[in-house]
Chains A and B, each alone.
Chain A
């Protein structure tokens, strides 16, 4: 298991290789369960997204896209290992920091992203909601959504604790 600074380095490298913060969605040799797919609805014309913009969306600092359409980020539950990995890599904030951040934002009228109970629920919700953005293990992606960013699941031990991929079992 990589330590947090090492994981951040891996993410940083992914960002740099992707070019100026744009980590592309090119095919990867990594197995599907070892990659985090950031997904959007097929009704959404968004094809890629930079990690910087994604971070701003998940911190609720950006609310609309350049066309004025709302972004609706969704989270997995606070106890979900994929959420912890995704948020710590993307936001570079630990749980106490995030608690302070959202407490302060709440006082300013801003609330954290919606929470859905499972990766399957995230895919379903994103598929039905044009502005929604979610994250799942790549093996959970269905044809109803498209991938706008791929990130490595840097905490390799997390994969073993996550929901099984659909071809292994059903949720």
Chain B
């Protein structure tokens, strides 16, 4: 650790969970800093940095309300996720995300912990090999599309998650990855190549649910997508100062249960205008046995900025499942209120043409904090 770094007041966004820690740390930082280093204000969303240790602690938490059609209304402490980032020398970095999900579910006067789970979502080491290549070893998010890579509740526009971003592949992989960025005429091309050997390296207790869990309704479809082996890659091209991103993904894999080999290709885009954001993802998956139907689908989402930090969100998704073999058409309309960076209040209505694939219709609401 460079000793000078110890004298920096790093820009810190302070979450409620770390307020006490920050108050304890701040006098030491201020004393070490002297008058030359001026502090930047605390803000939510960047974690708490301990410069002497090269350690950053952060995370997110969210509280959900499920008013699903045909199910009991419920509240859930949905996610409490903790990030730890540790610099090791100048070329290595460790990252861990550990999550407690659905720790408490309230239905009427009942409180349940039956769906509670503790999981190591990510645990990896990055080695900065050169300007254009970084190696990653461990458990990481599967690079298919963009939603899976940035799925934290405070960072997405809806409480429900599109089926195209989760139903056909494992959310995480365990193995090795190389990634980096190449620049072409002021535009960036991010690339990722990875191999997975979850069979040998996987973490005990991994769930990798193909579909979501909805408070008291639980998992409507309990299908899982645990990799046995996988190899894949992704490219993401950023144009016009990152206003437009175009991505393509490919992965060949074998699932654990039911044991089956698949190939999946995906496309995604994201365009940010002055008051409108458009995004979409699509996937197409085929199995090596012809009797298993292809699974495919995609969504289009629009976000319109309204006055007073309000955002209107609309999404349509068409998805053909293979297990069960049904087609979903899902409409979502919602509103986000983002009073300050790092805090999001949302309410939305989701309507699926049927419920048995894993995406129920109903009202959803949430409060999410990135700290």
Contact = CB atoms under 8 A, between A and B. Distances in A.
B67 to A, nearest CB: 28
A117 B58 contact: no
Interface residues of B, number: 49
Contacts of A106: 45-47, 58, 370
Contacts of B90: 64, 68-70, 131
Interface stretch (B6-14, B196-204, B282-290): B6-14
Interface in A78-119: 78, 91-93, 97, 99-104, 106-109, 111-112, 114-118
A64 B10 contact: no
A164 interface: no
Contact of B47 (A68, A78, A111): A111
Contacts, number: 126
A129 B155 contact: no
A115 B58 CA distance: 18
A92 B238 CA distance: 12
A116 B38 contact: yes
Interface stretch (B18-26, B127-135, B219-227): B127-135
Interface in B40-76: 40, 45-47, 49, 56, 58
A111 B155 CA distance: 15
Nearest to B93: A109
B95 interface: yes
A24 to B, nearest CB: 18
Contacts of B108: none
Interface of B: 2, 4-5, 8-11, 36-40, 45-47, 49, 56, 58, 83, 85, 90-91, 93, 95, 126, 128-132, 134, 149-150, 152, 154-155, 180-181, 183, 186, 188, 190, 240-243, 272, 341, 370
17 contacts: A53-B183, A55-B186, A77-B11, A77-B38, A91-B241, A92-B240, A92-B241, A93-B241, A99-B341, A107-B152, A111-B46, A114-B11, A116-B37, A124-B36, A125-B8, A129-B2, A131-B90
